[in-house]
């Protein structure tokens, strides 16, 4: 690694630590020429994940869009931001573990709903109302009745 201070073409690693849940490595380096230390970060490059929309369009998966939807679902609910981020990461990990380069927006929605139903039923119904485009109160009641029935079947 080239020294950012003196541009010497080499450096030695003094310390390495895993960060971000072991998905990145932080390295402390020292330049043998000028003796100054600097930090570098190493992260694996994820393959892009394409989302196929209902109308056939394709777009890159956006984890911030997922997080934004989760935050809206959990609005005024007793859930910490860190826990919401963790749920988002779990959902993304599950989607990427499918091993597909393209996933449908429907699969994303169903995966989110499955995770939300386990964690917070109010957030689940809020997300479902947007995802399933509820037209009236009857749609809400039907979804709640399905949720209650699934709870009784367990």
| pLDDT number for residue 133 | 80
pTM beyond 0.75: the answer is no
Cα(19)–Cα(86) distance, rounded to whole angstroms? 15
Residue 124: closest CA among 104, 138, 135, 109: 109
Query: In DSSP terms, which residues pair with 42 in a beta bridge?
Result: 25
Model confidence at 61: pLDDT above 90: yes
Mean residue pLDDT of the chain comes to 90
pLDDT in tens, 5-43: 999 999 999 999 988 767 789 999 999 999 999 999 987
For residue 57, the 8-state DSSP code is: -
Domain boundaries, the chain: 12-43, 50-153
For residue 6, the 8-state DSSP code is: T
Element holding 48 (H helix, E strand): none
For residue 32, the 8-state DSSP code is: T
**Of residues 54 and 143, which shows the higher confidence score?**
54
| pLDDT number for residue 79 | 94
pLDDT in tens, 124-137: 888 988 887 877 78
The two structure tokens encoding residue 63: 């984890």
- Listing DSSP states for 60-105 in one string gives E--HHHHHHHHHHHTTTSS--HHHHHHHHHHHHHHHHTT--SEEEH
Mean pLDDT, rounded, for 78-87: 93
């Amino acid at each position: 690694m080239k020294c950012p201070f003196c541009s010497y073409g080499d450096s030695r690693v003094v310390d390495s630590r895993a960060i971000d849940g072991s998905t990145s490595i932080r390295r402390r380096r020292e330049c043998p020429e000028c003796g100054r230390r600097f930090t570098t970060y190493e992260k694996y490059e994820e393959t892009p994940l394409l989302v196929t929309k209902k109308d056939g369009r394709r777009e890159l998966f956006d984890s911030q869009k997922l997080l934004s939807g989760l935050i809206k679902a959990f609005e005024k609910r007793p859930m910490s931001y860190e826990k919401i981020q963790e749920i988002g990461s779990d959902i993304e990990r599950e989607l990427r573990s499918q091993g597909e380069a393209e996933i449908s927006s429907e699969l994303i929605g169903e995966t989110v709903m499955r995770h939300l139903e386990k964690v917070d039923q109010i957030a689940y119904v809020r997300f479902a109302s947007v995802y399933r485009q509820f037209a009236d109160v009857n749609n809400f009641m039907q979804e709640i009745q399905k949720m209650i029935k699934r709870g009784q079947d367990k």
